[in-house]
Chains A and B, each alone.
Chain A
Amino acid sequence: MSSIPLVSPHPAAAALRTATTEPLWVRLLLTCIALLFLALFLVLPLFIVFSEAFARGAELYWASISEPAALHAIKLTLIAAAIAVPCNVVFGLAASWAIAKFQFKGRQLLITLIDLPIAVSPVIVGLSLMLIFGARGYLGDWLMDHEVRIMFAVPGIVLATIFITFPFVARELIPLMQEQGREQEEAALTLGANGWQTFFRVTLPSVKWALLYGVILANARAIGEFGAVSVVSGKIREQTNTMPLHIEILYNEYQFAAAFAVSSLLALLALVTLLLKSLLEYKAAKDLAQGRSH
């Protein structure tokens, strides 16, 4: 049966095709509008970052990204992301296990609360942390007595970054795990696996691409966060300056080429993020297709 062609060429088919698409000039016009809009708002800013970064030559570019203040900012940014992202991975796995594998009251409320940090302005995130840990905050006196510094120090930056990147992993995992259901885990338990074995050998492998996807998104956001970190950091050079804050300082000092040089590193990272994201989408689609053909 499979050797019979599925679609026979027929004049009616051609007529139907023209009836369900637009005339050529409309297609061309819409494509041009879309491409122009994207070129103006996406390609041009990206291009400007790199062209301005090298505007004063490669030597200044190299000097801007290898000076001690820049290197320290890069280090601090990476540390903050390296702490914040794993914390949110553990949370994301726990939350999605509870939400996707069990039916309980208040589940919808929990999902809504997980989305909350996306809707909250970064400045408000920083402000809220300040009101708890700042000198005049609720814990201010206690922290002062015990000589613990959270505001204008690395812990504050890490806390702000965790808040901002809070939902990313959980949001990717919850819908996928809900769709996958419970049968696989129940089978594993029936066959004698314990809870952790079931989780690590059955659940985790089946959500690995979504997990990685969430990690990449969270990481990009963690590294680029500006508003929240700017409130809590105090912007002390070589102490509490992250890359985006370093860019702001350079820019406000009219060191434009240097500001764009550091920006170009972040823009490069954004491009790598997009590349990895597309790769993961391709991988996940392939896995899904394979799973269906079995």
Chain B
Amino acid sequence: MTKSSWLKPSVLPGFGLSLGFATFYLSLIVLLPLAALLGHSLTLSWAEFCKVVASDRAIASYQLTFGASFVAAAVNLVFGLIVAWVLVRYNFFGKKLIDALVDLPFALPTAVAGIALTAIYAPNGWIGQHLNALGIKAAYSPLGVTLALIFIGLPFVVRTVQPVLEDLEKEIEEAAASLGANRLQTFCRILFPALLPSLLTGFALAFARAVGEYGSVVFISGNMPMKTEITPLLIMTRLEQFDYAGAAALGSVMLLISFILLLLINLLQHWSNHRHGAKA
């Protein structure tokens, strides 16, 4: 009973083996490489570090990466809610097929998505030529980057909102209606607050995914420094110039932001489960 201070006693065997293996494997595969990254960025002095991560080119890349990711996640927030709503509440021909297709961005390799989207939005592409006639440049511009990030983040909001919407009790809406609320009031006052935690979770997941995305963006962005260069690509460029410390410094900044986003997502999910659990 000596170790029961941190482990609740159990009759099941294999705790030491399974936890030992899991933590060893986790440390070796994930934590060690990330520690090496942080360690390597420490080889720079503070002034050098600041010079790398706050250079004009780096700041332009952050603006594009976070700006495009935010817009893409916001677009997915609105349309994801509509898609989830339609899939849960309405019946139409081919619904099951469409429901399955929503996960396509998870299954389709990002490079394939990248060249397909470029073919669509390039100046001579299917949609690109019409946009071009209107004077809008889609591919090889920040708009193209945003389009790729919308594709990548599409399933997140739908898949976080869908189960919550399915579990909502019809009685609450009936009560609202019988008390004289119209449909819009019921949605704004009853349904939307119940869906809010899952909407925000989906938004944060789509945003976090978009911030780190490389494969699909690299084809459609055109990769012009200061204009259409995302931060992961800037890291790649530093690496190709054998500037390992510079790449590690930029990587550390991105990693730190990923940590914060992950923490935020965990908090949101906790809130969402809590709200959801209390209702059921």
Contact residues of A with B, CB < 8 Å? 16, 19-23, 26-27, 30-31, 33-35, 37-38, 41-46, 48-49, 52, 90-91, 93-95, 97-98, 101-106, 110, 112-125, 127-132, 134, 136-138, 159, 162-163, 166, 182, 185-186, 189, 194-195, 198-199, 217, 220-221, 223-227, 230-231, 243-245, 247-248, 251, 256, 259-260, 263, 266-267, 269-271, 273-275, 277-278
B15-46 CB mask vs A (1 if < 8 Å, else 0) is 10111011101100111111011011000000
Chain B residues near A125: list those with CB within 8 A: 33
Q: A91-B25, A115-B262 are in contact. List 20 more A-B contacts (CB 8 A).
A: A19-B174, A34-B85, A37-B82, A42-B102, A94-B22, A102-B8, A119-B208, A120-B34, A122-B212, A122-B215, A123-B214, A127-B248, A134-B244, A163-B33, A220-B107, A226-B110, A245-B111, A263-B116, A273-B107, A277-B100
Find the A residue at minimum CB distance from B110.
Answer: A226
Q: Does B277 belong to the interface (CB within 8 Å)?
A: no
A277 to B99, CA, bound (A): 11
Stretch at the interface among B48-56, B133-141, B253-261: B253-261
Known: A38-B101, A124-B251. A182 touches B12 (CB 8 A): yes
- The distance from the CB of A18 to the nearest CB of chain B, in whole angstroms, is 9
Q: Does B115 belong to the interface (CB within 8 Å)?
A: yes
Q: Are A34 and B174 in contact (CB under 8 A)?
A: no
Chain A residues near B62: list those with CB within 8 A: none
Q: Does B211 belong to the interface (CB within 8 Å)?
A: yes
Known: A98-B22, A123-B232, A127-B239. A34 touches B111 (CB 8 A): no
- The distance from the CB of A201 to the nearest CB of chain B, in whole angstroms, is 14
Q: Are B115 and A251 in contact (CB under 8 A)?
A: yes
A119 to B112, CA, bound (A): 21
Q: Are B266 and A112 in contact (CB under 8 A)?
A: yes
Chain A residues near B259: list those with CB within 8 A: 119
Q: Does B247 belong to the interface (CB within 8 Å)?
A: yes
Choose one: A44, A103, A105, A244; the contact of B126 (CB below 8 Å).
A44
Q: Are B251 and A270 in contact (CB under 8 A)?
A: no
B153-203: which have CB < 8 Å to A?
154, 170, 173-174, 177-178, 183, 186
Q: Are B37 and A124 in contact (CB under 8 A)?
A: yes
Q: Are B214 and A45 in contact (CB under 8 A)?
A: no
Contact residues of B with A, CB < 8 Å? 6-8, 10-15, 17-19, 21-23, 25-26, 29-34, 36-37, 39-40, 79, 82-83, 85-87, 89-90, 92, 96, 98, 100-113, 115-117, 119-120, 126-127, 150-151, 154, 170, 173-174, 177-178, 183, 186, 208-209, 211-215, 219, 232-233, 235-236, 239, 242, 244, 247-248, 251, 254-255, 258-259, 261-263, 265-266
Find the B residue at minimum CB distance from A52.
Answer: B119
> In terms of DSSP, what is the predominant structure of the interface of chain A?
helix
| Number of CB contacts from chain A to chain B under 8 A | 293
Q: Are B12 and A189 in contact (CB under 8 A)?
A: yes
Known: A95-B22, A130-B239, A274-B107. A122 touches B112 (CB 8 A): no
A224 to B178, CA, bound (A): 52
Choose one: A104, A130, A199; the contact of B19 (CB below 8 Å).
A104
A223 to B100, CA, bound (A): 20
Find the A residue at minimum CB distance from B247.
Answer: A127
- The distance from the CB of B253 to the nearest CB of chain A, in whole angstroms, is 10
A91 to B40, CA, bound (A): 28
- The distance from the CB of A136 to the nearest CB of chain B, in whole angstroms, is 6
Choose one: B14, B86, B107; the contact of A195 (CB below 8 Å).
B14
Q: Are A102 and B10 in contact (CB under 8 A)?
A: yes
Choose one: A41, A120, A223; the contact of B151 (CB below 8 Å).
A41
Q: Are A114 and B174 in contact (CB under 8 A)?
A: no
Q: Are B170 and A224 in contact (CB under 8 A)?
A: no
A41 to B120, CA, bound (A): 10
Q: Are B244 and A98 in contact (CB under 8 A)?
A: no
Known: A48-B126, A223-B109. A95 touches B18 (CB 8 A): yes
Q: Which 3 pairs show the lowest CB-CB distances between chains A and B?
A: A224-B109, A121-B212, A128-B33
Q: Are A48 and B120 in contact (CB under 8 A)?
A: yes
